[in-house]
Structures are given as structure tokens and as C-alpha cells.
Amino acid sequence: DRGARLVARERYGEHQAQTFELFVPEGAPPAGGFPLVAFYHGGGWRNGDPHDYRFIARTLADRGYATALIGYRLVPAGRFPNMLLDSAAGLAAVRKAATEHGANPDRIALMGHSAGAYNATMLALDRRWLADANVPAEAVKGAIVLAGPSDFYPFEKTSSKNAMGHWPNPEETQPVNYARAGAPPLLLVHG
């Protein structure tokens, strides 16, 4: 893992997917600690593994960022809102480990790909998820959304039907409905 050191691999819940890996750049942390990127994997909420995204940790370590690769329960156990509860709980656990390993728990960017980008977007926009996990909203300085769905109701894809089709108020599942002044800055990347 060129340039990135794995400093923690922990569980934050009972389910096998409720894990995180924390990587920091080689060398001493700067004053205040390495800024921290919390990354959530893609996979349509039905598959995927944070381990497959270690290249993100290597790339960000080269630029001076610590990276947490956070797993979350997948469908069926991870149906809405469980993937968001897990994403927030994983972030809370990462924050506890961060200081011990030279990362700054109050200088966080959320990042994700596809379904994981959805998770990151919802944590950035809908205040309840971080609040419920006792993560101060001001610790999140921004979000990087890589090919993340944000306005996809009515559900047309099998993955969104399986993950959210059961929810009695489907509008509550849509990040676009939580866009607000004062939200952390979002970088939306699509291709």
C-alpha cells in the first residue's frame, strides 16, 4: 500500500460488514493531524467491499490525507435507513480512532462512489444521521460525490427498489430533498 499505512482495522457493530480500515500517510502528521476522508464503497447497496477501494487510500495518502474505508450492511440487512445508520456509526467509530493515529477527527470530508456516494451525500445533507451517531455536524467540512444518485424517485432500478422500495415515504430517501443553505460544500463528479 505505497505511501499509506494501515493503522486500524476495527468493527463498529455486530454485522460482518460493519467494519472500517484507517490509513494514514507515511511520516509524521502535521500540526492538528492529517485531514481525514471517510470513504463509502459502491455496489448498488447489494454488493461491494471497502477493501476493494484501497487505491483511494493510497492516492489520498500521497496528497497528505488519512482515509477511512467504511463498510456498511448491504441489502437485505442494509435496506434504508440501515445503510445510513451504519455509515454514520462507522464515521463515529473512525473519529474515536483518528486522534490516536494522527488523523484529525474534526476535519473530515465524506466521499463515496455510486451507492456509497449516496450514503455520503445523505450524511452531509440530512442532519439526523450524524446527530443520531453523536458526530458533530461541524466536523464534516465537505463531501465528494462520485457518480452518486441524488434524485431517483420513482424507483426504476432493481437496486433502488430493493434498498428503498419498502419505505413508506420514499421522498425521505432522496438527497435532493435535503439540499439546504449552510450544508457542507459538495463536489459532484459524474462521467
Other beta carbons within 10 angstroms of residue 94's beta carbon come to 27
Q: Mean pLDDT across the chain, nearest whole number?
A: 97
Convert the pLDDT of each residue in 7-21 to its tens digit: 999 999 999 999 999
CA nearest to 97, candidates 22, 4, 3, 28: 22
pLDDT of residue 189: 97
Give residue 2's pLDDT band: very low, low, confident or very high (50, 70, 90): low
Task: Give all strands of the β-sheet with 4-11 in edge-to-edge order.
Answer: 4-11, 19-25, 66-70, 34-40, 103-113, 140-146, 186-189
* pLDDT, average across residues 130-138: 98
In this structure, the strands spanning 4-11 and 34-40 are unpaired
CA nearest to 69, candidates 137, 128, 10, 25: 10
CA nearest to 90, candidates 138, 36, 54, 142: 36
Q: What percent of the chain has pLDDT over 70?
A: 99
Amino acid identity, position 118:
Y
pLDDT at 1 over 50: no
pLDDT at 6 over 60: yes
pLDDT of residue 3: 86
pLDDT at 157 over 50: yes
Spatial distance between the Cα atoms of 173 and 84, rounded to a whole number of angstroms: 10
Convert the pLDDT of each residue in 47-100 to its tens digit: 999 999 999 999 999 999 999 999 999 999 999 999 999 999 999 999 999 999
pLDDT of residue 191: 85
Alpha helices in the chain (DSSP H): 54-61, 82-98, 115-125, 127-132, 158-164
* pLDDT, average across residues 169-182: 97
